[in-house]
Each structure stands twice: as C-alpha cells, then as structure tokens.
Amino acid sequence: MDTHQLHKSCDFNAYVKALKDVGKALESRNGGRVPAVAAYSSTSSTQPPIPRYTPTRQQTAVPLTAPTIAADHKDSTGVTYGGQGQPMDLSQSKASKSDRCYNCCGTGHYSRDCPEPRVLRAQWVRNVYEDLNEEEKLEVTAKKDF
C-alpha cells in the first residue's frame, strides 16, 4: 500500500508508520544525517546568492536645525493654526454667533467651551419636559413610549 492509499484509508497509525519508514530511508541514504530545511525550499542551491546592498560611498549626515514656531496663520478656508507642528484650533474659526451651546443655549461657543457649569442631559430633558403645557406633554408621551 503506497502513502497516497494510506492517506485515503483513514488508518492513522498505518500512515504514521509509513511516514516514519520514509524518514528512516532518507536518513540511511544521507548517512544518518537529516537534510537541512533549506534543502526543501523552492530555491535551488545552484543559484548564485543574491548580492547584498552595499553603499558605494558613505553619506554624511546634515545637521538639523530646530523648527521655528510661526505666528498664527489662516489657511485658504480661514482655519486658524499655529504653523507647522502646532495643533489647529478649530473652535476659534468655526464658532460664530449662529452656533449654539447645548449646555446653556447661548450663542458663539460650543458646549465644550461653555463658561457655565455643565448641566446633566437627563436634568436638561426633565426641565424641557416640565416647561411644556399639559397638551404638549400628552402629545409627547403619545408619540413615544415615554
């Protein structure tokens, strides 16, 4: 029985025994030595080795100067930034009178920049609900599972 038939027969012990026999035959053919893993690779040993990269001349390092911090600039869209390596401050350029704060309902700033103490969202929703009249409360509770 050859190894292909052993593999198909699902007899694991017979398959392992056949593999061990093949391994012993290979060892006896090589004088007891197990061939190196590289012998099983796809590259042939007759191919010349790939030449390694060696620089033709040594390059000298150019000393780096520390970057200078520029004054605030605005790009073509009007976004303010402090120059190369500085973070862009988006809140300065985007905050306008039309922007509303969700914390104090004021204009000109976002809730993250609000000078007022933070109002909890649940408390804010409760306050809005309390300000509704009875008809509006019934309408809100009828629309949602409130």
* pLDDT value, residue 39: 45
The amino acid present at 7, given as its one-letter code, is H
For residue 113, is it within any domain? Answer: yes
State the Rg of the chain over Cα.
39
Domain extent, residue 23, equals 3-36
d(CA 40, CA 67): 54
For residue 124, is it within any domain? Answer: yes
CA distances from 106 to 71, 109, 111, 122, 124 (A): 31, 7, 9, 19, 14
State the average pLDDT over residues 47-66: 66
Residue 136 has pLDDT above 50, yes or no: yes
Q: Is the model's pTM score more than 0.75?
A: no
**67: DSSP letter:** P
For residue 11, is it within any domain? Answer: yes
* pLDDT value, residue 76: 66
User: Do 74 and 90 form a contact (C-beta atoms < 8 A)?
Assistant: no
Counting the structural domains of the chain, the total is 2
